[in-house]
Structure 1
Amino acid sequence: MRLIALKFHELTKDNRFHLSLELYERQSDRFIPIPLGNAGSAISGNLPLPFDLSELETSYKAWVDTHRWRVQSQRGFEFDQPTKKKSEKDCQPLKQLLKNWYDVDGDDWESIKTQIKIVTGQNSNQNHYLLMWLDSSLVDRCSILAKLPWDEMFAELELQTSLCIQNFKSMGAITPNAPIPPPRKFSFRSLGSLLKPKVRLLHLIGNDQDIKLDQDSKILDDLRKANHLLIERIKLNSFQDIGEALRHRQGFHILVYSGHSLDQDNRGHIILRGSSKKATIDDFKGSFKQLIDNGLKLAVFNSCLSASLARDLLDLGLTSAIATREVIHDDVALKLLTSFFEEYASHGHSVYASINKTIASLEDLRENFSDSQWLPVLYQHPQKVPPLWQDFIAKPQKIRWHIGVSGAITTAVLGLTMGGWLEGLELKAYDQLLRWRSLPHYGREERVMVVTIDPSDLELLTTDYPGIRQDIITDRALTAVIDQIQEGQPKLIGIDILRNSPTPSSDIDNHGALVAQINQAQNITIVCQLDKTGKETEGIPSGTEPQHVGFSDILVDPDGKIRRQLFWTTGIDNPSCPNPLSLSFALALKYLQSLGYTPWSSEEVKARDLFGIEDQTFPYLKEFSLRRSPQPTRVEPVNYGVLFSPRPRQSPGMKEIPLRSFFNDPHFDPNLFKDRIVLVGYDRPNSDRHKTSYEDNLPGVILQGQMVAYLLDVMLEEEPRLWVLPHWGNGLWIIGWGIISGSTALMLVWLPRSSSSLVGATAMEGSILVVVCFLMLGQRGLWLPMMGPAIIISLIFLVGLGNLNERPE
């Protein structure tokens, strides 16, 4: 849809109108300027007046006098044939003057007419409408311009003509970024009508002396059922009735006024019922402004001399109004109202097309009212697109559909999340959030030291102890390593090396010495391993006491990464792994107990169904939110554990050294191990390697060390303990994002906005989601699902984008 705006700026002293031609194209609910081809954004020139204005006024007055006499005679006086012929003849002078004016010579005017024809000819697939845009200062000087039947002057162009009267200087030029009157404000109260969308019409009935207004009401009532119409009918018996009708809290889309009205000194008046009292638009300016702000788009004044009423409403920001230039007979008024709403409501045509077809239908009354086609006039706001009837219904239907689709998307994503189908995406997002997290103030003290035994260390040991396998450490060498570590007075020692038989098998004496060393020392814990049935696989050296044992079994997620750690298991009776505590938990717990921390008793754990140390709780693993995450790969009985916070291999809180850096080194400083937890284990390329959020090839002993360091940092460094919401909490989190995203898109659909606004709002939602998830994980240790809400935001964005600004031509 395009609007050809012909602007009348001023009348010069030599009887020339200075005017300009501009072209506007509809974008969403407003018109924006576009270039006039090679002519640029606008062309200007002068339109000569080939006659004196007084001649134009005389011809117009002659037509008015005859027209008014004829209407009055039709209301009760005999209408004879000579009078009819005289009225038709009185139309001709004005018609001829307007035709002569259109045909006047003038290079500027010819260029403007040619440009109009070029625009309409080159874009025949577009609907073009002509807007006569008169400066209000020019109308104040020459009021006849606001009353002329401009359609007659531009009949050759076959363009529907509308009228706008505004002050150019106060308004300024329209630009794509120019401010426009604010759209309807979003109101949740307004959403209550979405389930049953209706076009809301306010029918004001004024003075009905000598006219029959019942037919107006019947015409509108006939529209109710087929066109989703809700009518509020108010009889204006007092000024209070006007104010109360205009300030109706739910607002209206269309205003129809039936009754007497008049024009005095270019100001429109409506007349109250049963009296001569009258009111102007300015008398109720605030109420009319509220009515427009609450959604009024179109006004139809089916009354006499109502053009000034329409102009005054457009000054308040109304989109469009239909009025009459002169007095109007009942038959013409009924035909106008019937034809317009039949085209506009029943057939769904635009306001332009509807008024054009209505004017054409008035030809049926030519026998008695030959000039009836001159009576209707369309006024419109130059920046706003007149709404379609279906716009009033389509928007609520669109919003209702949008709410339903948003709810379906949220429900589907909720089901996918709770069913575990988004687990892979959520785990990847979780890993990324962990990597973004900074841990500068955690692990200020290196309480954990890991001694790694790599191939170079094993080569060194085979030199000192020839004749053994080169890929394992012997019992004799392991005993020597422990002895040297003990010289440094460590608080605890963890042996992450499976040893359930003498190594080598013939070295029974050294194996016994290793067992004795473990049992005699109070600070050594050696690892064992369980299988899924609880039967022995690789246990501990025979004779090792249970308090010196801890299992190394870990929980592996579907992608092979370690994100959880076990505290203990129950229901396993395995003599080769007699202690239900894991190695990392046993070491951390003993360390904390040495500092005076008291874990909850088994009775308290059972009572609360929760484990804690002092005031710090560690949620039971059953609250893990991703249901498809498997149980431990090697431990199926009931187990208790927490989310594990991995970290880079080289990070604060844990020191790593190779065995060769101190073993049999006379210059070694034993204080390196003092008061620390020391873990000893292999760092072999193809054995006991694991994946975490940070590393893809982490030795098992380093992993055990990180688990110990994490538990100590939670208790001693106030590192946030990682936790997740229960299932219902995650469900509410996802539903909340569905509501937020759906509401945001809904407001942008409700309030006409460009797609860039929706893109910006969606980007902001996504950013807020990421920031909230990141801060909650980093500052509170809470892992919130991120991919489920992200999918909801994305899908609702696509739905909103597909429905935003959908509007038929």
Structure 2
Amino acid sequence: MPRVAVLKIGRGNFHQGFEVSLELREDGGLPVGEIEGRLGANTDIEGLYFLWQQSFRSLSAIARNDGWEIESSLPTNRATREITDDCWQRMRQVEANLNEWLQPSGELGWQKIRERLSKELATQADTLRLAIKARDPILWKLPWHSWDLLSSYPNVGVSYSPVEYESWEIAKHQTQSDRVRLLAIFGDNQNLDLAADRQAIDNLQETESVFYHQPQARDLIAQLRNPQGWDIFFFAGHSQTIEQRGRISLSARESIETDQFKHALREAVQKGLKIAIFNSCEGLGLAQQLADLHVPIIIVMQEIVPDVVAQSFLKEFLREYAGGQPLYSAVRHAQERLEEFTELPGATWLPMIYQNPAEVPPTWQDLRPKKRQHRFGLDWQHLPNILVKSLVATGLVMAVRFVGGLQPVELWAFDQMTRLQSDRGIDERLLIVKVTEQDIQQQRQYPLSDRVILQTLEKLQAHQPRAIGLDIYRDFPVEPGYRELAAHIKKNSNLVTICEVSHPEAKANKFGVASPPASPPENVGFSDIAVEPDGTVRRYLLHLNPGDSVCQVPYAFSAELALRYLDAEGIQPEATSDGNLQLGSTVFQPLEKHTGFYHNIDPRGHQVLLSYRSFTKVAREVTLTEVLQNDFKPQWVKNRIVLIGVVAQSVGDRFSTPFSNEIDKKMPGVVIHAQMVSQMLSIAKQERPLLQFWPQTLDAVWIGSWALTGGLCVWVFHGLVYRRIAIASAMIILGSLCLSLFSIGICAPLVPSVIALVISYIITTKTVIGKRMKDEG
């Protein structure tokens, strides 16, 4: 990042020396370091400079024959050659004296300053600029660009300002044009040829230049207040500094001090004025006064300047600056080209930049904000690159997703989506008879005896339920009452019992939990629940190949109950050509190993996503004791599905769900089965959709579209704030769309899309913004 090295020359004088410090700061930022020291005395340099000044002014008088600028006491009758030789000698003496003064000395602090500045120059040669802040104006006039420390670094420019230069904040207004707006004032042209200056300005490309020749003061003020604003103010003509006050001559009859149009200048600054150029004599007073008005950059001639020198400087400076060189480098290059005027030794000293070091010098492109910062400008050459970056981001995300790298975070996002769904309330088609801790204590036995279960079933059967599901294992007798319960189970076809397929155990021929011996196979369903590695239930296992398990049934307990209910409604299960279950118009497409975000799961059996009806209560609930005491309404049972199961925490038949963290508890197994039954009923009767994934191809297209969106945010919006707003808005829209799709049964890839969006945004930003900055100079 560009830096500015600020050399502060504070209290002191040439006879006693000066307090000095070197402050380093990022361009436009806060200081990053400061070294203090002291610069020794130099009693000769003021006198040497004055002698050079006398010789140079004599040569200027001869060159211009301009008595208006020259003091009558200056000698002008000596031979031109002698004056030129004398001026050369004085110039060399000043430069030699300056370099000797700035050499390392016994002052340790100054030596450290010089060493640090040398290091900065060596590492930041193309981006560093040097600012001289001094109390004594003679220090500004010294030829700092001839300092031997800078001799090897031709791109390092030098500026000047007072030590107490006020820091200010100016609203960053821009001129209302996509071209550089330049106001050129040509004042009194007595003994001057200003045509060359006008030609240099006319040669500028993409510039809107307005010229005024010898205007009246009120016309000048009116133009400075032009509502469109100006980027550059230029003056050529006669000017002078008297007692540190600058004055420009608008014509032979009228001159004006900067104080007389200070309000117009301040208004021009507020409307975008960034640079003021005074290609005229003795501009130091002008620079000081304009700086007080907060003009960011002022370029002036510090001494009387011959016409040819002023013309050459302006031409070379504008050519370099408009050609893309930084402002400081452009000024220094134009300075150094003034050495061609060998008959005017020291001409390279004349141009100087006066500026607050805290300000960032604008580039020529910075003066064309509408073209450079247009927030919705589309540079079509970047589009192929954005498409490539989007494909790269999509491919990377899909590859990581395919190997299961995103599954944990996608499961988390799925849980959040599930929690954000509306609670559908209880399903009136279901009733849960729950066995609580109090019920177990009252029976004084667990497992519950077969007699208690029989009594419960008889109480419920009396009210004609469509199906009863007994979610309690009965693979062995629990006396008393075994024979009576077995007889009841055998004769009631609407009673569904359970067994467990489980997983094969090592060195075991049989595994699982058997069904009640008296239950016909068609009245048994397996109770197995698909549980994720994190212990959460998000899938519904409909069908399973039991293998060598003692539980030899193919359908889930919940499916058996739902199908019995639907049979009474006239809805029969069908099989598609692929062997998938179809209820009504809905096909239960099974989850496979690489479906949606599932990549590292056991794909056995026929599994679908479980869509929870409610996280509070899926069905009306009564306790075992209430049933035994007939403390329930018969209509709660008639034509309903009744599930009987244990909810006591001491039994341990409980599972984590997407709501577990929210409600701080697990869900009993019988309630999970009730959720599954309710889902099948609702899907078959078209009350809600089956929650499904898209095919992998469609997932890739969706993710790719959001990766492209990330790149387009960089392409369309040039400003950093606007890009961040755009990318944040895209994420909000993405989240809202995924939530809306989830509510209609589509589980779209949210997390992969967000990651692809961000990756594409980052890699496109580095490429497009880097190229854009390079193109803009």
1:263 matches 2:235: no
DSSP 3-state at the match of 1:305:
coil
Distance 1:88 1:271, change over 3 A: same
- Letter paired with 1:5: V
Tell me if the contact between 1:251 and 1:291 (Cα under 8 Å) persists in the aligned partners.
yes
- Letter paired with 1:276: E
- When the two chains are superposed, the root-mean-square deviation of aligned CA atoms in Å is 7.2
* 1:336-355 aligned within 5 A: 336-346=313-323, 348-355=324-331
DSSP 3-state at the match of 1:328:
coil
Which residue does 1:792 correspond to in 2?
757
- Which of the residues 181, 197, 203 maps onto 1:216? 197
Distance 1:106 1:738, change over 3 A: closer
Q: How far has the Cα of 1:133 moved from its partner? A: 0.8
Distance 1:220 1:232, change over 3 A: same
Tell me how many residue pairs correspond in the alignment: 652
Q: How far has the Cα of 1:326 moved from its partner? A: 2.7
- Letter paired with 2:164: F
Which residue does 1:501 correspond to in 2?
none
- Letter paired with 1:73: N
Q: Bigger CA drift: 704-713 or 331-340?
A: 704-713
- Which of the residues 291, 305, 308 maps onto 2:282? 305
Distance 1:90 1:739, change over 3 A: closer
Q: 1:704 & 1:439 partners in 2: Cα distance?
A: 22
Q: How far has the Cα of 1:286 moved from its partner? A: 3.2
Which residue does 1:288 correspond to in 2?
268
Where structure 2 has 5 or more consecutive residues not aligned to the other structure, the ranges are 71-75, 437-444, 473-483, 499-519, 543-553, 570-585, 648-653, 661-665
Tell me if the contact between 1:493 and 1:679 (Cα under 8 Å) persists in the aligned partners.
yes
Tell me if the contact between 1:562 and 1:691 (Cα under 8 Å) persists in the aligned partners.
yes
Q: How far has the Cα of 1:123 moved from its partner? A: 5.6
| TM-score for both structures, normalised by structure 1 | 0.57
Which residue does 2:502 correspond to in 1?
none
Tell me if the contact between 2:21 and 2:37 (Cα under 8 Å) persists in the aligned partners.
yes
* 1:503-514 aligned within 5 A: none
Which residue does 1:69 correspond to in 2?
61
Q: How far has the Cα of 1:487 moved from its partner? A: 6.5
Q: How far has the Cα of 1:205 moved from its partner? A: 2.0
Q: 1:351 & 1:48 partners in 2: Cα distance?
A: 32
Q: 1:739 & 1:422 partners in 2: Cα distance?
A: 23
Distance 1:290 1:63, change over 3 A: farther
Q: 2:693 & 2:254 partners in 1: Cα distance?
A: 72
Distance 1:49 1:248, change over 3 A: farther
- Letter paired with 1:43: G
DSSP 3-state at the match of 2:122:
coil
* 1:44-443 aligned within 5 A: 44=38, 47-50=41-44, 59=51, 62-63=54-55, 65-73=57-65, 82-86=79-83, 88-89=85-86, 92-93=89-90, 96=93, 99-100=96-97, 103=100, 110-111=107-108, 114-122=111-119, 125-126=122-123, 127=125, 130-135=130-135, 138=136, 144-145=137-138, 148-151=141-144, 154=147, 158=151, 162-168=158-164, 170-171=166-167, 181=169, 184=172, 200-207=179-186, 209=189, 211-222=192-203, 224=205, 230-236=206-212, 239=218, 249=228, 252=231, 255=232, 257-260=234-237, 262-265=239-242, 266-269=244-247, 272=250, 276=254, 278=256, 280=258, 282-292=262-272, 296=274, 298-315=275-292, 320-346=297-323, 348-367=324-343, 369-387=344-362, 429=409, 431-433=411-413, 435=415
Q: Deviations over 1:494-540 (max 9, x none)?
A: 5789xxxxxxxxxxx99998797557xxxx8999xxxxxxxxxxxxx
Q: 1:462 & 1:556 partners in 2: Cα distance?
A: 25
Q: How far has the Cα of 1:233 moved from its partner? A: 0.5
Q: 1:290 & 1:108 partners in 2: Cα distance?
A: 46
Distance 1:463 1:395, change over 3 A: closer
* 1:523-672 aligned within 5 A: 643-644=611-612, 671=631
Q: How far has the Cα of 1:82 moved from its partner? A: 1.4
Which residue does 1:27 correspond to in 2?
26
Q: How far has the Cα of 1:232 moved from its partner? A: 0.9
Tell me if the contact between 1:479 and 1:517 (Cα under 8 Å) persists in the aligned partners.
no
1:705 matches 2:667: no
Q: Deviations over 1:149-189 (max 9, x none)?
A: 33388457637662322352855xxxxxxxx74684799x9
Q: 1:365 & 1:267 partners in 2: Cα distance?
A: 29
Q: How far has the Cα of 1:325 moved from its partner? A: 1.3
Q: Deviations over 1:181-218 (max 9, x none)?
A: 4684799x99xx6xxxxxx4333221253544443344
Where structure 1 has 5 or more consecutive residues not aligned to the other structure, the ranges are 37-41, 139-143, 172-179, 194-199, 225-229, 453-459, 466-475, 498-508, 528-543, 568-576, 594-618, 684-688, 715-719, 752-757
Q: How far has the Cα of 1:620 moved from its partner? A: 12
* 1:480-495 aligned within 5 A: 482-483=457-458, 485-486=460-461, 493-494=468-469
Q: 2:222 & 2:745 partners in 1: Cα distance?
A: 58
Tell me if the contact between 1:402 and 1:746 (Cα under 8 Å) persists in the aligned partners.
no
Distance 1:80 1:107, change over 3 A: closer
Q: 2:464 & 2:420 partners in 1: Cα distance?
A: 29
Distance 1:150 1:763, change over 3 A: same
Q: How far has the Cα of 1:69 moved from its partner? A: 1.4
DSSP 3-state at the match of 2:65:
helix
Tell me if the contact between 1:332 and 1:362 (Cα under 8 Å) persists in the aligned partners.
yes
Q: 1:449 & 1:247 partners in 2: Cα distance?
A: 85
Q: How far has the Cα of 1:802 moved from its partner? A: 6.8
- Letter paired with 1:792: L
Q: Deviations over 1:451-502 (max 9, x none)?
A: 89xxxxxxx999999xxxxxxxxxx9998874354479989745789xxxxx
DSSP 3-state at the match of 2:141:
coil
DSSP 3-state at the match of 2:186:
coil
Q: 1:119 & 1:311 partners in 2: Cα distance?
A: 30
- Which of the residues 643, 654, 678 maps onto 1:679? 643
Q: 2:64 & 2:424 partners in 1: Cα distance?
A: 99
Distance 1:112 1:217, change over 3 A: farther
Q: 2:470 & 2:321 partners in 1: Cα distance?
A: 87
Distance 1:350 1:83, change over 3 A: same
Distance 1:464 1:584, change over 3 A: closer
Q: 1:285 & 1:363 partners in 2: Cα distance?
A: 34
Q: Percent identity of the aligned residues?
A: 19
Q: 1:444 & 1:334 partners in 2: Cα distance?
A: 87
Which residue does 1:6 correspond to in 2?
7
Distance 1:170 1:777, change over 3 A: farther
Q: 2:144 & 2:448 partners in 1: Cα distance?
A: 111
Distance 1:305 1:58, change over 3 A: closer
Distance 1:375 1:513, change over 3 A: same
Q: 1:413 & 1:97 partners in 2: Cα distance?
A: 62
Q: How far has the Cα of 1:712 moved from its partner? A: 12
DSSP 3-state at the match of 2:183:
strand
Q: How far has the Cα of 1:112 moved from its partner? A: 5.6
Q: Deviations over 1:192-251 (max 9, x none)?
A: x6xxxxxx4333221253544443344355453xxxxx1010113655566556756587
Q: How far has the Cα of 1:382 moved from its partner? A: 1.4
